[in-house]
Structures are given as C-alpha cells and as structure tokens.
Amino acid sequence: MPEAVYRFPKNFLWGSATAAHQVEGNNTNNNWYYWENQPGKIVNGDKAGLACDWWEGRWKGDLEQAAKDGQNAHRFSVEWSRIQPTENSWDVDALANYREMAEGMARMGIRPVVTLHHFTDPLWIFEEGGWENDRTVGYFADYVRQVVSTLKDYVDLWVTINEPVVYTASGYLEGSFPPGKNNLGAAFRVMRNLIKGHAAAYRIIHEMQPQAMVGVAKHFRAMQPARWWFLPDIWITRFTSGSFNDAFSNTLVKGKFRFALRSERIPEAVGTQDFVGVNYYSLDKVVVKPFDIKSLFHRRFYPKEAEISETGFIANLPEGMFLALDWARRFKLPIYITENGVEDSLDELRPNYLARHLHQVWRAANFNWNIKGYFYWTQVDNFEWERGWTQRFGLWHLNVETQERIRHKSAELYAKVCKENALSSETVRKYAPDAFDLLFPT
C-alpha cells in the first residue's frame, strides 16, 4: 500500500470561516432579520435566533478548540448593524466586543482575518435603498474607518466584501436574498457601488494601516460547456463565467466594469487588492437556453456521475478547485482559499470532499502558485441564509436547541492536516478511505 505525504508551504494559514449573522445570534437590526420575518423567504420558516451564541461569548470555546486542533487563523465578519445601529450613532460596546474577540484569537495563536461586509446591511441602510443608493458607499467608508481604528492592533488581513456577485445576483436577479428583486438595472447599480465601496475601504485601510493586506472573498464558480463541441454552449459558458467570475475582479485591474452587456468606468478601483480570496464549492456544466431570458439564456447543472450533497446543493468536483486557483493566479497576487466546504449532516461525504479538495490545493501549491492559506467553511454548523438550518457545513455538529457541539470525523481529519501542515496517506486512509486510491494510486 503506498505511503506518501503532501506537504504544504511553510507558514501556511489553516483556519475556518464564519459570518456574524450566521453565528452571533440575536442580530435583529439588519436586512436578514427583516427577511427572516417575511413569510416563505427561509426554508421551513427557520430563523437564525440564537445561532451559535457567539455574541454572548461561545466563540471562545469554539475557537479554543480550533486552536487545539492546529488552526492558526480564523476568518470572521463584523456586523455593521451592531456597530452603527442608526445613521448617526456608533455603539462603542459593540466595537469593544469585536476588539475582545480579535485580541482573544491572537492570544490563542489564531490570526484574526476580518470581513467587513458579509451579506448583511443595517436596517436603516436597507430602508434607504441599500447598495442601490449611491450614498451607501460613503456610509460604508465611515463604518470601515471605525472598525479599522478599533481592530488594527490585532488585524492586518482584511476582506472588504464577501461574494459581491452572490450578494447581487441573489438579491437583485434571483430574489432569494433581500430585497428579493429581479431587476438587471438594479443589479448593475448594486455591483457598481460594491466595487466603489471596496475601493474606498481599501484606501482607508492602507491610510490607517500601511502594512495591511486587503482583498475580496470572491466566489468562483467553475463552469464548463455541457457539449464541448457545440459552439453556443461554449459561448454561453464564457459569457456566464465572465459575468459571474470576472466582472468584479477584472474591474480591480482594468478599471472598467462590465456586467450583463453593460459597462462603466470605475478608475478608482484599479490596484485595490493585495491578495485574491477564493471561495470555491463546486463546478457546473452549462447548456444554452436561447429563449429563456429570465435565466440569461442558460442552464447550469451538475454532471450525472458527480457525488452530490444531501440537499443537492453541492457536487464533489475537486477539479474545480484547481480551476479556481488557476483563475486566481492570473492576478499575480497571493491567494487565500477564503471558503471551501460541503453540507453534510451525517459527515459521510465531507471527509472525502475535504481530502480531495485539499489535495488540489497542494497540487496548485506544488506548481509554486502563491497560495498562502485555506479556510474551511465552517467550524460549527450555522444558519445558512435562505436555506436556514437545513444545511450543515460544520466540522462540529450543532444542536440548535441545546447549543451542544458534537465533533465530526472531519474535524479529526482537518486537525491532522493543520497540525502536520500536510495531507498524508495515513490520514486519508484513516479518515477518508474512499479517497485513498484517488489520492495515492499504486
């Protein structure tokens, strides 16, 4: 039986990722609290409620465990609506709580990585039109200044916006996120303003903290034509991938924003990223649908042979991770995998998924691509947006009623990788035997 070790680069960051609304509990002053209270918007009528009870301090136990398991970084977000509950007020206690979290992580040996915007907006921003309103760019800049001033002693790795295209498409094209619109013009304005907000945040952070590293967590959706020989499938795949994967990121290089056949110059965005954050989950096949304007003339689906997660949300297609990293390296900047994971309440698919995706990360790093870290989504099951509590991504299972945490086998696997800075045949044989022959062929 083959024995081998896939070693990762020295000083590699190993961590998990969370978002404020999904873990803190009792966030009642933002657009998602409003959305949860609209009938039919969340699966089963679920609500975040207490979530993982991080705001009242349970983050300490979860991250102490992460540190014991060898994690040396954690990506978390700060909740704008707590920090600026109204247009003209700042909550110093909320800022102090986030400072305590960042300081606590540093004491544990965990490098805090802060996301400034992860899908949620204060209700007062939402009621003024959210990111459709050009004034939101300035509001966001003021908020960023407050956060950086508070956390800069402990944080020097910043994510300005999480998945701006997902936020835009889900809220303004598909209608599954607040405000539930289907309006291409609104989507264009929102993403344009998110780009401007990111650029403003980038400059503020560097003004206050010149040594900081600033980037975006970009959801990369790998896409391939369903029929490699059929030109319309090839064209629509390129168009769809360009809109979803490239529109935001290319603007930070070229200063020209192109999205859904519209364009606008945003010169202040040029050069406003120090690293590329990649959120990767799965890969789609794409087929042209010439008469379906609502879906922008295409349909995406998983290959028939793919191993699918329990709700059908994610396919275990690790080759897409390599494609995502290949896409990221063209920016010639350091790369962080800011999210990667799979929903799996029984922890049956996750070990295989995790081992095979980490192997692809190693493969890319072995080509000397500049990959600096990996953050698994997520440490403990949390509230998954419009899908509520129906999807369980955690290395640890959460009993929502009792707040009990139960360790999965995947947590053991990930701990071995983090502690050894390597993926070994011994680890895969023990925790993900279904992946062994694929990763260590004879």
Burial label, 32 (beta-carbon count in 10 A; 0-12, 13-18, 19+): buried
Contacts with 332 (C-beta within 8 Å, 6 or more apart), sequence order = none
pLDDT > 80? residue 29: yes
Does an H or E element contain 250, and which? helix 247-254
What residues make up the domain containing 104?
Answer: 5-439
**DSSP codes of every residue in 1-24:** ----EEEPPTT-EEEEE--HHHHS
pLDDT for position 297 = 86
CATH for 101: 3.20.20.80
C-beta of residue 187 within 8 angstroms of C-beta of residue 179: no
> Looking at the chain, how many residues does it have?
442
Give the pLDDT score at 1. Answer: 66
Cα distance between the two ends of the chain: 7
| Model confidence pLDDT, tens digit, residues 70-129 | 999 999 999 999 999 999 999 999 999 999 999 999 999 999 999 999 999 999 999 999
Residue 292: the pLDDT is: 79
pLDDT in tens, 303-317: 999 999 999 999 999
Percent of the chain with pLDDT over 90: 97
Mean of the per-residue pLDDT values for the chain?
97
Q: What is the mean pLDDT of residues 168-188?
A: 96
**pTM score, whole prediction:** 0.98
Assess whether pLDDT exceeds 80 at residue 28. yes
Instruction: Provide the β-strand partners of residue 7.
Output: 422
Could you report the per-residue pLDDT of 250-305, keeping only the tens digit for each? 999 999 999 877 999 999 999 999 999 999 999 999 999 988 777 778 999 999 99
Q: How far apart are CA 239 and CA 237, in angstroms?
A: 5
pLDDT, mean of residues 54-76:
98
pLDDT at residue number 65 = 98
Number of structural domains in the chain: 1
- pLDDT at residue 136, as a whole number: 98
Mind listing the pLDDT tens digit for each residue in 365-411?
Answer: 999 999 999 999 999 999 999 999 999 999 999 999 999 999 999 99
Mean pLDDT to the nearest integer, 319-336: 98
